[in-house]
Amino acid sequence: MAETSDTRTPAQIEADIKRRRDVLAETLDEIGVRVHPKTIVGDAKAKVVADLDHTFGRAYVTVNGMLSEVREQFVDDDGEPRLERIVPAALVVVGVVGLIALGARRRRR
């Protein structure tokens, strides 16, 4: 139960005022730091960096999984290349590059 004002001594009242003044000063200092432009910019930068890290991390995991799946198509369990799959894929790539080169050559004329 709180003391009534008539039972406290002037020294107790002064001590209570000083304690409340110190708490108020600390609270105002915290508010000042939080609303300072450098703090706001720093917090915003940190959030953007964290979001980018999270996004790039997820992208890395996704791409890594996809590359592992592609690798499994061209390499057997012993790590040996599967020529029956590599040769047709290489021929398709050479054909596509050849068609692109022919198209570019025709456009230049």
Using one digit for the tens of pLDDT, what is the confidence trace for 95-104?
999 999 999 8
Please check whether residue 86 lies inside any domain of the structure.
yes
Measured on CA atoms in the order 12, 14, 16, 19, is the torsion positive or negative? negative
Note if the pTM is more than 0.85: no
Can you tell me the distance from the alpha carbon of 26 to that of 32, in angstroms, rounded to the nearest whole number?
10
Q: Where are the alpha helices (DSSP H) in the chain?
A: 10-35, 37-74, 83-108
Question: Between the CA atoms of 82, 87, 93 and 97, what dihedral angle is there, to the nearest 10 degrees?
Answer: 150
Number of domains comprising the chain: 1
Please check whether residue 14 lies inside any domain of the structure.
no
pLDDT (0 to 100) of residue 4: 56
Please check whether residue 30 lies inside any domain of the structure.
no
Q: How far is CA 26 from the centre of its chain?
A: 33
- Mean pLDDT of all residues in 20-41: 94
Can you tell me the distance from the alpha carbon of 6 to that of 48, in angstroms, rounded to the nearest whole number?
56
- Mean pLDDT of all residues in 23-39: 93
Q: Express each pLDDT in 53-79 by its tens digit.
A: 999 999 999 999 999 998 899 998 888
DSSP state of 8: S
Give residue 20's pLDDT band: very low, low, confident or very high (50, 70, 90).
very high
CA atoms within 13 A on the CB side of 44: 7
pLDDT above 90 for 51? yes
pLDDT above 70 for 2? no
Can you tell me the distance from the alpha carbon of 72 to that of 95, in angstroms, rounded to the nearest whole number?
24
Mean pLDDT of the chain: 91
Quote the domain boundaries for residue 86.
82-109
